[in-house]
Structure formats: C-alpha cells, structure tokens
C-alpha cells in the first residue's frame, strides 16, 4: 500500500479550530514536522481540508 509524507509548512495560528484538530490528528506538531500516513480515502479527505497548510509527497 502506498504511503504519503505530509509536512506542515504553515502555522495553524489564526486558523479555525476544525483545521487545528485535523493537523493535530495527523500527528503534526510544529512547522517542518513530517509524518508518513497511509494513502487511503480518509487520509486524503483530511489532507484536502488543510492542503493550504501542508506539503504532500509520496513516501519512499
């Protein structure tokens, strides 16, 4: 199964609580922190809601 590397590139300061919860739920703590998540519909949906805050690439 494919995996995605998600990196937080913008701060969550001033963002709606829903977006903050999604960032926290993905396990991202601070700017430039990265996590590897499975490539499935649930993760893609969460990432789409915060795509302006993160950078996504295929994990190796």
pTM tops 0.85: yes
- Residue pair 19/53 in contact by the 8 Å Cβ criterion: yes
Task: Indicate if the pLDDT at residue 7 is higher than 90.
Answer: yes
- Which helix H or strand E contains 57, and what residues bound it? strand 54-58
Domain housing 10? 3-59
pLDDT per residue as tens digits for the range 19-44: 999 999 999 999 999 999 999 999 99
pLDDT score at 60: 82
pLDDT score at 1: 81
Q: What is the domain-level CATH number for residue 51?
A: 3.30.1390.20
User: From edge to edge, which strands make up the β-sheet containing 34-38?
Assistant: 34-38, 3-8, 54-58
Average pLDDT along the chain: 97
* Residue carrying structure tokens 């922190």: 33
pLDDT score at 36: 98
What is the total count of domains within the chain? 1
């Amino acid at each position: 199964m494919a995996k995605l590397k998600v990196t937080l590139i913008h701060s969550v300061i001033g963002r709606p609580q829903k977006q903050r919860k999604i960032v926290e739920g993905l396990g991202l703590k601070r700017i430039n922190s990265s996590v590897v998540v499975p490539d499935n519909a649930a993760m893609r949906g969460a990432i789409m809601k915060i795509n302006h805050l993160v950078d996504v690439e295929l994990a190796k």
